[in-house]
A and B are shown apart, each in its own frame.
Chain A
């Protein structure tokens, strides 16, 4: 059984996904509605950070504009849901079809950016994606009739199905939807990373010329990764639209895009587990620092100035310190600690050659 597990990546990923799903499902019953809402938000972020960590860490393309891609997903969800609602669609279709549309439209947008970006390196791609973030508010105000300008749009979301009972909290329902989306994303990405295409990606990242000599189509690989990464961002944006029940350009600012990238790097870039740490951080850190600000801020004026700013300062400091002290991020520290613990429990014989494993951990490293 264990042998089969170590050989079949698909089986292992399926089991892990099912186990994680069961754990989250159980967790949602233990959490208060507010915590469930935070869990749902974290899951929505996770869709985007997982795609971003694959893009940045494994294909070597830097994107500063994933928040803008999430905005594409969120707006698509809002528009399609409204359209379907007008035509009388109800039930699960009103949830699934807009999400699918969000994924497809964002993947298309990402494909276009990826096509332009595939020839660019480092800062030039960063410049291109950075501009995406200032285009979002420009487009929403230009097409204010359809997209609602600065006010944005409200999103048509049905309450939790009546079957679940009248007192069933909406937040738990939202947590289920968001977690399911995040689990599907993680499962698909984990398999993609472990596949032949995942190896192509890393080859392109490490040396484009060598990859080309080995018969890899470098341009196509880059464009496909960007498209996949955009699709997950679109899904994350769609889920976020379900949670907040409104979309506006203010929610997808330049700072938000940068936060996504920072979360990925602090978590440990290139590791899907690092994306989980990053998403957790994005939800937890503002809350921790805001409560900190409340305890410090004595006068109302000082409290107003500290509000928000203190969390930004702490986030920035954490970011700088983590990047300098632990360049491989949280997941790098976790991996180092577990490796040390493991070698203490099972000291490896000195003569043993390190095995060439196919486990995803060693490939990611």
Chain B
């Protein structure tokens, strides 16, 4: 039982990061109707920038700020310089361009930093605190939880209470109507990408130091798991992304805790097939009307 509680808490902590990353994917999906396959590579670039800033200044927090700011910038630039020029009539092309970006970004990172892992420090201890005999969260896990919760609360507030958030939603759901009402839909799209870049960069910075460290491919698996989480939850639903992310984190934690770590990918595939067979558009999908 002790072990179960420990694995649950640990899984939720890992899942929180997947949830944030999945949220970044949902942000872009809702705005542009495309899955940003370059999210992982963009986030890897942000972690390297954070690594460089932390190394130069000695401050973790400046690195964190650099990750968020560079994420904003990379996201906005990607939309402005690349994605905007893709022919929207050919759905596949946006996917291919994003995959091309992955290659370019990872190659540039590899040339600039080399292919060895760069270990990164975290500002809090990673050894778990105990209540009685029960090992629970580490201070770093609490920091991760808090950060992700703050991001979600911030996004939730922005999208439901602020003018800019409501305008972004309008531009995403009814671009033509929004345009008629005077919304600059293109700028809102750039903003969506920038926000997604920032959230993705932050999530990557939270998870990369707990593994081997900064590496051009450090975020590949994070991306796959986050994508799974977003698909399980339903790409249109921010709540689905959070639930999906936590679910994926729990599954990974239980599988590696109770059986073989190597099996986790197989179990994730099973989870994905199971959910999609029951709900082809994710757990949180709503029935849609369509005209025939």
Of A98-106, A132-140, A235-243, the one with at least 4 CB within 8 A of chain B: A132-140
Chain A residue with Cβ nearest B106 = A312
CB neighbours (8 Å) of B91 from chain A are 122
Chain B residue with Cβ nearest A209 = B292
CB neighbours (8 Å) of A142 from chain B are 260, 262-263, 266
Chain A residue with Cβ nearest B227 = A127
Of B29, B100, B110, B281, which one neighbours A323 at CB under 8 angstroms? B100
Knowing A126-B35, A130-B224, A265-B92, the reply to whether A320 touches B100 (Cβ < 8 A) is yes
- Residue B265, interface by CB 8 Å: yes
- Residue A319, interface by CB 8 Å: yes
A-B contact pairs, 22 of them (CB 8 A): A56-B92, A62-B92, A120-B276, A121-B280, A123-B35, A124-B235, A126-B95, A127-B227, A127-B230, A128-B272, A134-B224, A134-B265, A142-B260, A261-B96, A261-B99, A305-B111, A305-B115, A310-B107, A312-B106, A313-B107, A317-B104, A323-B86
Task: Determine whether the beta carbon of B277 is less than 8 Å from that of A116.
Answer: yes
Of B95, B102, B111, B221, which one neighbours A309 at CB under 8 angstroms? B111
Instruction: Give Cα A262–Cα B96 distance, bound, in whole angstroms.
Output: 6
Task: Determine whether the beta carbon of A324 is less than 8 Å from that of B95.
Answer: no
CB neighbours (8 Å) of B96 from chain A are 261-262, 265, 319, 323
Instruction: Give Cα A135–Cα B268 distance, bound, in whole angstroms.
Output: 9
- Residue B264, interface by CB 8 Å: yes
Seen from chain B, the residues whose Cβ lies within 8 Å of a Cβ on chain A are: 29, 35, 82, 85-87, 90-93, 95-97, 99-104, 106-108, 110-111, 114-115, 220-221, 224, 227-228, 230-231, 235, 260, 262-266, 268-269, 272-273, 276-277, 280-282, 290, 292
Chain B residue with Cβ nearest A210 = B292
Knowing A320-B97, A324-B97, the reply to whether A305 touches B262 (Cβ < 8 A) is no
Chain A residue with Cβ nearest B281 = A124
Of A127, A305, A312, A317, which one neighbours B228 at CB under 8 angstroms? A127
What's the nearest-Cβ distance from chain A to residue B111, in Å? 5
Chain A residue with Cβ nearest B216 = A309
Task: Determine whether the beta carbon of A313 is less than 8 Å from that of B266.
Answer: no
CB neighbours (8 Å) of B107 from chain A are 309-310, 312-313, 316
What's the nearest-Cβ distance from chain B to residue A317, in Å? 6
Best-buried of B86, B262, B268 by chain A (most CB within 10 Å): B262
Best-buried of B276, B277, B282 by chain A (most CB within 10 Å): B276
CB neighbours (8 Å) of B111 from chain A are 305-306, 309-310, 313
Task: Determine whether the beta carbon of B103 is less than 8 Å from that of A316.
Answer: yes
Task: Determine whether the beta carbon of A119 is less than 8 Å from that of B265.
Answer: no
Instruction: Give Cα A139–Cα B269 distance, bound, in whole angstroms.
Output: 12
CB neighbours (8 Å) of B110 from chain A are 305, 308-309, 312
A interface SS class: helix
The interface on chain A, measured as residues whose beta carbon lies within 8 A of the other chain's beta carbons, has a size of: 46
B interface SS class: helix
Chain B residue with Cβ nearest A131 = B269
CB neighbours (8 Å) of B220 from chain A are 254
What's the nearest-Cβ distance from chain A to residue B218, in Å? 14
What's the nearest-Cβ distance from chain A to residue B275, in Å? 10
- Residue A10, interface by CB 8 Å: no
CB neighbours (8 Å) of A119 from chain B are 276-277, 280
- Residue A258, interface by CB 8 Å: yes
CB neighbours (8 Å) of A320 from chain B are 82, 97, 100-101, 104
* Those of A63-117 within 8 Å (CB) of chain B: 116
Instruction: Give Cα A288–Cα B137 distance, bound, in whole angstroms.
Output: 52
Instruction: Give Cα A324–Cα B101 distance, bound, in whole angstroms.
Output: 13
Task: Determine whether the beta carbon of A120 is less than 8 Å from that of B97.
Answer: no
CB neighbours (8 Å) of A262 from chain B are 96, 99-100
What's the nearest-Cβ distance from chain B to residue A45, in Å? 17
- Residue A182, interface by CB 8 Å: no
Instruction: Give Cα A17–Cα B114 distance, bound, in whole angstroms.
Output: 46
Q: A62-B95, A131-B269 are in contact. List 12 more A-B contacts (CB 8 A).
A: A116-B277, A142-B260, A142-B266, A209-B290, A265-B93, A269-B92, A309-B111, A310-B111, A313-B111, A320-B101, A323-B97, A327-B90
Instruction: Give Cα A261–Cα B97 distance, bound, in whole angstroms.
Output: 11
- Residue A154, interface by CB 8 Å: no
Best-buried of A261, A305, A306 by chain B (most CB within 10 Å): A305
Task: Determine whether the beta carbon of A131 is less than 8 Å from that of B29.
Answer: no
What's the nearest-Cβ distance from chain A to residue B112, in Å? 8
Chain A residue with Cβ nearest B98 = A320
Best-buried of A124, A312, A327 by chain B (most CB within 10 Å): A124
Instruction: Give Cα A243–Cα B26 distance, bound, in whole angstroms.
Output: 42
Task: Determine whether the beta carbon of A127 is less than 8 Å from that of B272.
Answer: yes
What's the nearest-Cβ distance from chain B to residue A346, in Å? 31
What's the nearest-Cβ distance from chain A to residue B214, in Å? 15
* Those of A260-275 within 8 Å (CB) of chain B: 261-262, 265, 269
- Residue A315, interface by CB 8 Å: yes
Instruction: Give Cα A165–Cα B165 distance, bound, in whole angstroms.
Output: 75
Task: Determine whether the beta carbon of B227 is less than 8 Å from that of A315.
Answer: no
- Residue A246, interface by CB 8 Å: no
- Residue A221, interface by CB 8 Å: no
Instruction: Give Cα A142–Cα B220 distance, bound, in whole angstroms.
Output: 21
